[in-house]
Amino acid sequence: MYELNFDIKIAGQQNESMEQILVNYFKRLGIAAQKVKNYYIVSESVVRELLDFAQDFMAIDELYFRHQQAEWRPLKEVTTILEAQWIDDIIRRKAVVCYSQPIIDEHEEIFGYEVLARFPNEDGTLKFPNEVFVAARQRGRLYALDRLCRMKAVEYSTQLKKKTFINFIPTSIYSPEFCLRSTMQLAKKTGVDFQQFVFEVVETDKVEDINHLKKILRYYNEKGFQYALDDVGEGHSTLEVLAELKPHYMKLDMKYSQDVSIDEMKQKMALNFLRKAQEVGAIPLAEGIENRRDFIWLQQQGYKLFQGYFFGKPATTPQQSIVI
C-alpha cells in the first residue's frame, strides 16, 4: 500500500510531557518515528495511530503536521488527506477511461476532439474528475494523476485521426524536460503526427509562475505540438502576457458562451475575448454551446471553433458526424 510521510510537531506543556510516552508506545508497536530538529518524520500509519492516541491523552489543538514541506497545519486537519487515500488506488490500477467530445468548425464539420478522463468505480459508476483531482492535490499525487491521464489520452488519440485536445495541469510539472519525456516517447511510439496534438492548459487562472508556464509551452512548441489556453483569468489575460505565451488556440469558458445571444454582459465578455485572441494570432474556440442561437451569434462575431452538448456529448466511442 502506498503511504505518505508527514512531519509532526509537538507543542504545548501537556503534549511535551507526553512525548516520551508516545515514542515508547510507538516502539512497542514496532513503528518508526525519526526526530529531526523539533519535529518527527513519520509514515501515514503512524499519523493514524497518533490521532487515536491524541484523542485521549494529548491536547490535539497543539499538535501540527505538514506534508511535502508545505505550511504547518493543525493535526486534526490531516484527516482530509488520510480520507483521500483512495486516489492512490486509482493511480496504482491506472483506472482511467478516456471519453472524447467533438469540436466543430464554423461550417459545422468535425475539426477535432477533446479527450476527457473519467474514473470508473468497481461498481461501474464514475467518480467526478473534480473530486479525483482534488484528492490528488490533497495527497500530493497531482503529478502522477496528471501524467496518467496524459498518457491514456495519447494512447486513445490513435483512433481519432483529427486534432486531439489533451488537458494538462502546468502546476503539476516541475521540469518539462523530465516530466514530459514519457509523453514524448509514447507519442512517438503511437506513430501519430505530433501536429495532431493540442495540449490544453487547465486551471490557467491558478498559475502564479508565468515564466514556468512559458517554459513548458516553449518546450511543447519546440517539439512540434500545439497548445491551447482557457480563459486565462485576472492578471494573466493582458495582451502582453498572451503575446508572450503565443497560444495556438484560446477557449472561451462556457459561463460566457451559454445564453450569450441574449445576454449583453456575456456578449461584451465574448467580444473582448475574441479581440484578444485575434490580436495575438490565436484561434478562438467557444465551449459549452447548448443551442443553435448561441452558436450562430458566436459564429457571426468571428469565432472559428465550437464545442458543447449541442454538437455532441462526451463518449467512449468517437463521434463521426454532427447531427443537429
Model pLDDT for residues 188-203, shown as the tens digit of each residue: 999 989 899 999 988 6
Q: Which of 182, 195, 121 is nearest to 155 (CA)?
A: 182
pLDDT for the residue numbered 205: 53
Structural domain spans, the chain: 5-83, 94-307
Count CB neighbours of 264 within 10 A: 8
Please tell us whether the domain made up of 94-307 is placed in CATH 3.40.1710.10: no
**In this predicted model, what pLDDT tens digit does every residue of 121-179 receive, in sequence order?**
888 888 989 999 999 999 999 999 999 999 999 999 999 989 999 998 888 887 888 77
What does the alpha-carbon distance between residue 250 and residue 54 come to, in Å, rounded to a whole number?
51
Q: pLDDT band at 68, cuts 50/70/90?
A: confident
**In this predicted model, what pLDDT tens digit does every residue of 194-248 receive, in sequence order?**
899 999 988 665 677 788 888 889 988 888 899 999 865 545 556 777 888 889 9
pLDDT for the residue numbered 150: 94
DSSP designation for 116: E
Share of the chain above pLDDT 90, in %: 63
**In this predicted model, what pLDDT tens digit does every residue of 249-284 receive, in sequence order?**
999 999 999 999 999 999 999 999 999 999 999 999
**In this predicted model, what pLDDT tens digit does every residue of 42-55 receive, in sequence order?**
999 889 989 998 88
The Cα diameter of the chain in Å comes to 75
**In this predicted model, what pLDDT tens digit does every residue of 300-324 receive, in sequence order?**
999 999 999 999 999 999 999 887 7
Average pLDDT in the chain: 90
Stated length of the chain: 324
What does the alpha-carbon distance between residue 147 and residue 179 come to, in Å, rounded to a whole number?
8
pTM greater than 0.85 (yes/no)? yes
What does the alpha-carbon distance between residue 76 and residue 209 come to, in Å, rounded to a whole number?
31
